[in-house]
Amino acid sequence: MSNQAKLELDGKSYTLPVVIGTEDEKAVDVSALRADTGYITLDEGYGNTGACKSKITFIDGEKGILRYRGISIEELAEKSSFVETAYLIIYGHLPTSAELQKFSDLLTSNQNLHEDMKYHFEGFPSSSHPMAILSAMINAASCFYPDLMQGDRSHFDEHAARLISQVRTIAAFSYRKSVGKPIIYPKNGYKFTANFLHMLFSDPYDDYEIKPEVARALDLIFLLHADHEQNCSTSTVRMVASSQANLYASCSAGVCALWGPLHGGANQAVVEMLQQIHASGDDGSKFIAAAKDKASGKRLMGFGHRVYKNHDPRAKIIKKSCDEVLRSLKIDDPLLNIAVKLEEVALRDSYFVERKLYPNVDFYSGIIMRALGIPVEMFTVLFAIGRMPGWIANYKEIADDPKGRICRPRQVYVGQSLNSYVPMSTRK
């Protein structure tokens, strides 16, 4: 096979290098296109543009494959934890026992916020969305570490662990503020996910009972969301990092991108759909019938995926955990009953099967978080907690590249041609 592509433009022929990835992904390298031809490529939304070479995550949407650093998501979900997976994603290899212990110790020793940060929380109205607080407070936290602000990367390990650990603390504090409850500090004796549940739901003199299956389900949600190739928020982190902005600023930008309803709000949309179905007095049957009719405007949220053209591999994993949590908690929730019905119908109805509209990870994660009593406005925050290792790993890839350049996309200008200034007195 030729390792070059040919392009005919204005009567001239050009050769373009072909780049082939380790999983046989093929790309035409157009890096020199503008310099050689005067042309640029136009790809609105970057749907067919490879913006980088990365060693972190591989996805094959047609086959339903997701791997972190070459290890399948199925194997990691079965054998690993979120903390170990975070280390793998950031540093490129599974940790030794000593490396994992050191990383865990860094997470524990850096989980508390600087006490002055409490004054920042007090400045937000109680109605503030937790994602707004999360983004602002990540940026604010960077102010307490002068070496970070000066571009010193000698303490990267500590800052990476601090960010992964403190994002839970910020998230829990913002939730407690929104419901008028006192702040609960993390406990050194709790593991990563159990500590988050403790900070969310404990009271000053009454610790929340942490059930192992609940902590495992939430840890699994974090693990399954830890990275997902060049999505909107990860690409945003890389874009900001390319300017040599610090780690906190770059990841704060990722939070802002994730906040958008077309990105991180999918599991929230699932619960909102269930609420609408329940409010209408439907058990889901009428809604499913309407979803088959394009003219109805109804759409099953949490079914199908832009990347995965078959099953979402994460959905297969989390479904089992979802079933275990619902059995364990024995919750009688009409919304969850509707969700179960939607799932059953979509998995056997030929309309959805033929179109491969299977339940995705957002469908099951939304159900789990609803069952755990996590409010819907916190769903995207939990997504951000899980995605933090991926953002940090992508930041590190940018920062470690000695040939790295600031990201600067081109455009095709379609506005007015050369125009003249019109004095105010003669304007109509």
Catalytic positions, please? 305, 362
331 contact partners, CB below 8 Å, separation of at least 6: 371
Q: Which of 397, 277, 393, 254 is nearest to 333 (CA)?
A: 277
Q: Which of 68, 4, 416 is nearest to 222 (CA)?
A: 68
Residue 426 C-alpha from the chain's centroid: 53
Do residues 295 and 338 make contact, with C-beta atoms less than 8 angstroms apart? no
Do residues 346 and 303 make contact, with C-beta atoms less than 8 angstroms apart? yes
Calpha distance 280→49 (Å, rounded) = 43
Do residues 90 and 389 make contact, with C-beta atoms less than 8 angstroms apart? yes
Calpha distance 391→253 (Å, rounded) = 10
Sheet containing 26-28, strands listed edge to edge, beginning at the edge strand earlier in sequence: 4-9, 12-20, 26-28
Calpha distance 10→428 (Å, rounded) = 43
Q: Which of 334, 61, 84, 62 is nearest to 71 (CA)?
A: 84
Degrees, nearest 5: CA angle 383-384-388 = 120
* DSSP code at position 15: E
List the structure tokens of 259. Answer: 């906040």
Cα distance from N-terminal residue to C-terminal residue, the chain: 63
The Cα-based distances of 238 to 16, 48, 113, 140 in angstroms read 25, 18, 26, 20
List the structure tokens of 347. Answer: 């998995």
Helix (H, G, I), strand (E, B) or coil at 114: coil
Calpha distance 280→322 (Å, rounded) = 26
List the structure tokens of 391. Answer: 């953002």
Q: Give residue 16's identity as a one-letter amino acid code.
A: L
Q: Which of 223, 312, 310 is nearest to 266 (CA)?
A: 312
Calpha distance 177→122 (Å, rounded) = 8
List the structure tokens of 54. Answer: 């990365």
